[in-house]
């Protein structure tokens, strides 16, 4: 809440930084690749900026210690590598993506070690996206999308899932 309009590029020079919360700032523009220099970062919160963009999330793969990532109101329409970066990230366990413009072609599977996944307000239609890693999730929120249907057997084991938000029906056929 410091009224930053852009993510300052100098933040990438703070090599010892472990916690970065830039939420509730009117951020616009591109997410700077310099954030990838924060090799000890554990927590990154970019929630509720006005309009962030990224055409490549390669910077995220350089923060191997990151456990929690929260970003909202961003456009990843040209960042076709976002799912692969998340999938191969070594320590990420909490991922919150809200109010996104994601690429239309989403395939593959997100990281199996994700424990908390929030994908609200992303304009998903029909059934649940196939990239959701049900086997590891403890918390899932896909509210305020245009989803329909139930969890199906072909989504795998979701026995660890204990929180399902926004009226999503959870049933598994015997």
Q: Which of 109, 155, 4, 36 is nearest to 168 (CA)?
A: 155
- Residue 14: what pLDDT? 95
In a domain, 3, yes or no: no
Write down the mean pLDDT value for the chain: 79
In a domain, 95, yes or no: yes
In a domain, 171, yes or no: no
In a domain, 170, yes or no: no
In a domain, 88, yes or no: yes
In a domain, 115, yes or no: yes
| Angle (CA) 83 151 108, round 5° | 20
In a domain, 1, yes or no: no
- Residue 68: what pLDDT? 94
Take residue 134 and report the two structure tokens written for it. Answer: 């049900």
Angstrom distance (rounded) from CA 98 to CA 102: 10
CATH number for the domain harbouring residue 85 = 3.80.10.10
Angstrom distance (rounded) from CA 70 to CA 27: 14
Decide if pLDDT at 141 tops 90.
Answer: no
Structural domain span for residue 65: 9-164
What's the total number of domains in the chain?
Answer: 1
pTM of the model: 0.79
- Residue 139: what pLDDT? 87
Take residue 87 and report the two structure tokens written for it. Answer: 């999938």
In a domain, 89, yes or no: yes
């Amino acid at each position: 809440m410091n009224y930053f309009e852009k993510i300052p590029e100098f933040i990438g020079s703070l090599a010892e930084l472990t916690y970065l919360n830039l939420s509730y700032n009117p951020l616009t523009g591109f997410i700077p690749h310099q954030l990838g220099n924060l090799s000890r970062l554990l927590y990154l919160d970019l929630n509720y900026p006005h309009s962030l963009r990224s055409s490549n999330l390669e910077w995220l793969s350089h923060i191997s210690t990151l456990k929690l990532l929260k970003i909202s109101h961003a456009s990843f329409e040209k960042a076709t590598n976002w799912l692969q970066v998340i999938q191969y990230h070594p320590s990420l366990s909490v991922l919150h993506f809200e109010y996104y413009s994601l690429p239309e072609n989403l395939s593959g599977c997100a990281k199996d070690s994700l424990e908390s996944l929030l994908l609200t307000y992303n304009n998903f239609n029909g059934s649940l996206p196939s990239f959701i890693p049900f086997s590891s999730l403890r918390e899932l929120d896909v509210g305020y999308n245009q989803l329909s249907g139930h969890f199906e057997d072909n989504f795998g084991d979701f026995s660890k899932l204990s929180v399902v938000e926004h009226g999503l029906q959870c049933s598994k056929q015997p």
